[in-house]
Amino acid sequence: MSESLIDRAIEILRLNDRGTYTVPTSGLYPFQWNWDSALSALGFSYFDEARAWTEIDTLLAHQWDDGMVPHIIFHEEDDGYFPGPDVWQTGRPVPTSGVTQPPVAGFAAKRIFDRAKDRDLAEARARALLPRIHAWHEWFFRCRDPEGSGLVAIIHPWESGRDNSIDWDQPFAAVPTEGVQPFQRRDTQHADPSHRPTDEQYKRYIWLVQKFRSLGWNNDKLHDASPFRVVDPGFNAILIRSCADLAELADALDEPEIAATSRARVEAGIPALDALWSDEFGQFLCFDRVQGALIQSASIGGLLAAFAPISQDRAAALAARIDDISSRTNYLVPSHDPAAPEFDSLRYWRGPVWLIVNTMIANGLERAGQGDIADRIRTDSVRLIRQSGFAEYYDPITAEPCGGEHFTWTAAMVIEILNLHGEKA
Ligand code: GLC
């Protein structure tokens, strides 16, 4: 059974392969997405190492001069997606969006390097990627942490990768909707509108894009100019983990400066992350940098903090929290606690399960000695696939497949989970 699931997953990666990059799924997402690509490379690494490296290479080839790595690269024209290059107007030779996404590339590169069979290839490709990934990390601390707090802010919900999370409802109220140029959404033509963000949210997404565009995408200005500045524990955990992994990769490649700078980021980041812990919620919370307050919202962002090298005590508390959530759902890990009134089991990041987040949480908890709950998360992930196929995301109560079909990173995570934990999953 596991064998054939892996075969089907490989077929999906091949189906969405455009030669040097993959699309998340054709139709709904016809370009290259940042964290989709880095995580999908993990799937490729099991059957084509060169292709796995190329996936990350292509992403980093579109890094901006300031170090930012954009969230979408518009390799080909396709008017089936909104907002396209005409809205972003970032002035890049190959058009890109102007915001970023969770920096998982450092984690992915280290993992592909560690298990590579072709050592010469791995060393050459990792050596070329190392300074570019490092420049991206340093861009974050320079442009998104101007006061040197140790944690970075996102300035657009799309940067979090959790586009319409309940976490953003309150800070999003500070983003106006006046002056938004009329537009036509395309996502609702490819997917069920009741599974997608609302029109009201879309207006605010576009208001922010117009604002940043009016500032010429100058990252020295965007952070302070944005009415939306949120410190997301999940996003920061990914950055801190990638810095930790990059430090080890730099050691292996004998690049001591990159190793030392990256380690210092981890040392400053972990205590800063700990300040986002809430005893009341039993998990980490987002911090609204504009209001100067924690956001009282029990989303999966606060559980994804387990991906960073947090203390054993915190990891144990997160494991207990996930166990508690499991009493209210059939499949771990819902993107929001079902006990919250805003929970919506079908609407994108307001309740559904996403396999990429499951894989990262399980990975972090396992490293912290919480193997039992990590096994449960992975087992639930594979049960979902067996029952409902390779969807974009799933209803955590009924397992209904939602969003796009034949999804690349879902397939990649299945390959990853079954190869590493096949007998248990
Ligand atoms: C959606 C998701 C985002 C993902 C993209 C492509 O926008 O919220 O995380 O990167 O789709 O799959």
DSSP 131-142: HHHHHHHHHHHH
CA dihedral 260, 261, 266, 271 (to 10 degrees): 110
CA atoms within 13 A on the CB side of 185: 17
Q: CATH number, domain at 118?
A: 1.50.10.10
118 is catalytic: no
Residue pLDDT, tens place only, 176-215: 999 999 999 999 988 899 889 999 999 999 999 999 999 9
Ligand 1 near 403 CB (within 6 A): no
Residue whose CA lies nearest to ligand 1 atom number 3: 161
Ligand 1 near 163 CB (within 6 A): yes
Please choose from 21, 29, 40, 162 the residue to mutate so as to test ligand 1's pocket, defined by most ligand atoms within 8 A of CB.
Answer: 29
Helix/strand/coil for 293: strand
Residue pLDDT, tens place only, 120-136: 999 999 999 999 999 99
Count of domains in the chain? Answer: 1
Structural domain for 419, as ranges: 2-424
CA of 137 to the centre of ligand 1 (A): 21
| pLDDT (average), residues 66-73 | 98
Long-range contacts from 15-23, C-beta under 8 angstroms, 24+ separation = 15/406, 16/406, 16/408, 17/51, 18/75, 18/76, 20/54, 20/55, 20/57, 20/58, 21/55, 21/58, 21/59, 21/73, 21/75, 22/55, 22/408, 23/408
CA distance 390 to 392: 7
CA distance 226 to 242: 26
Apex CA 142: angle with CA 140 and CA 148, to 5°?
100
Residue pLDDT, tens place only, 253-298: 999 999 999 999 999 999 999 999 999 999 999 999 999 999 999 9
- Burial, 78: exposed, middle or buried (Cβ in 10 Å; 0-12, 13-18, 19+)? middle
pLDDT at 424 over 60: no
Per-residue model confidence (pLDDT) at position 75: 98
Residue whose CA lies nearest to ligand 1 atom number 4: 161
163 is catalytic: yes
Long-range contacts from 57-64, C-beta under 8 angstroms, 24+ separation = 57/20, 57/125, 57/128, 57/129, 58/20, 58/21, 58/32, 59/21, 59/32, 59/34, 59/105, 60/105, 60/129, 60/132, 60/133, 60/136, 62/92, 62/94, 62/96, 63/132, 63/135, 63/136, 64/92, 64/96
pLDDT at 3 over 90: no
50 within 8 A of 57, measured Cβ to Cβ: no
Residue pLDDT, tens place only, 79-111: 989 999 999 999 999 999 999 999 999 999 999
CA distance 306 to 360: 8
Ligand 1 near 187 CB (within 6 A): no
- Among the options 163, 187, 245, 344, which is catalytic? 163
Ligand 1 near 205 CB (within 6 A): no
